[in-house]
Amino acid sequence: MKKICVAIALALAIPGLAAGNDVIDKAAKEKGAVKTASGLVYIPVKEGSGDSPKASSVVGVNYRGTLPNGKVFDSSYESKMIPTFPLSGVIPCWTEGVQMMKVGGKAKLVCPPDLAYGSRGAGRDIPPNSTLIFEVELLNIQ
């Protein structure tokens, strides 16, 4: 009973936490979805055929990041340049999820707050304790 009361108190005290859990649970039920031990939900959209990156790799990707309500907070699709990132320097959700991909593949990563920006959020666009959804296309490993 005490655990239930604490969970309800946390959900009320941290806006969006309960909604974020619903998003994670719903995503985990999608066809082909894999929920990892960390809480990340990886949903393959298109299988790649190349190599998979390591946590120390630098990758070229196209991506779109949205909040659960569908609001886009970041996207590389409008840019003419391919963004590159060291997987050791991005949010934990990306470090883990992109390693599950192969070059040429596309996936949806549903990131719980503790694998994203947590209680600090990120600027004006990502509120604290937000579950984030990314569509990621792995274009290359450098």
Catalogue the active-site residues. 63, 73-74, 91, 117, 134
Q: d(Cα 36, Cα 25) in Å, to the nearest integer?
A: 12
Query: What separation in angstroms does the CA of 46 have from each of 35, 42, 94?
Result: 18, 12, 17
Tell whether the torsion through CA atoms of 105, 108, 110 and 115 is positive or negative: positive
Contacts of 100 (CB under 8 A, 6+ apart): 34, 42, 52, 107
Say if residues 10 and 114 touch (Cβ distance below 8 Å): no
Q: d(Cα 137, Cα 46) in Å, to the nearest integer?
A: 9
